[in-house]
Amino acid sequence: MQVLSLTLRDFRGYQDARVELGEGLTVVTGPNGAGKTNLLEGLY
């Protein structure tokens, strides 16, 4: 499976967000509380 983009609307801390994912490996980084886990749970 290949995911090219993720759109989150009214999901946890995201009001309206779209993330474009390139081919290959994507790494999500940021400080604690930035929403990394929420982003991945939105994909699930």
Looking at residue 35, what DSSP letter applies?
Answer: S
pLDDT digits (tens, 9 = 90+) for 1-44: 888 999 999 998 899 999 998 888 989 999 999 999 998 899 88
Number of domains observed in the structure of the chain: 1
Confidence (pLDDT) at 13: 85
Contacts of 3 (CB under 8 A, 6+ apart): 21, 43
Whether pTM > 0.75 for this model: the answer is no
Q: Residue 32 to residues 3, 5, 23, 24: CA-CA distances in angstroms? A: 25, 23, 26, 25
Give the residue numbers spanning the domain of 38: 5-43
Confidence (pLDDT) at 41: 92
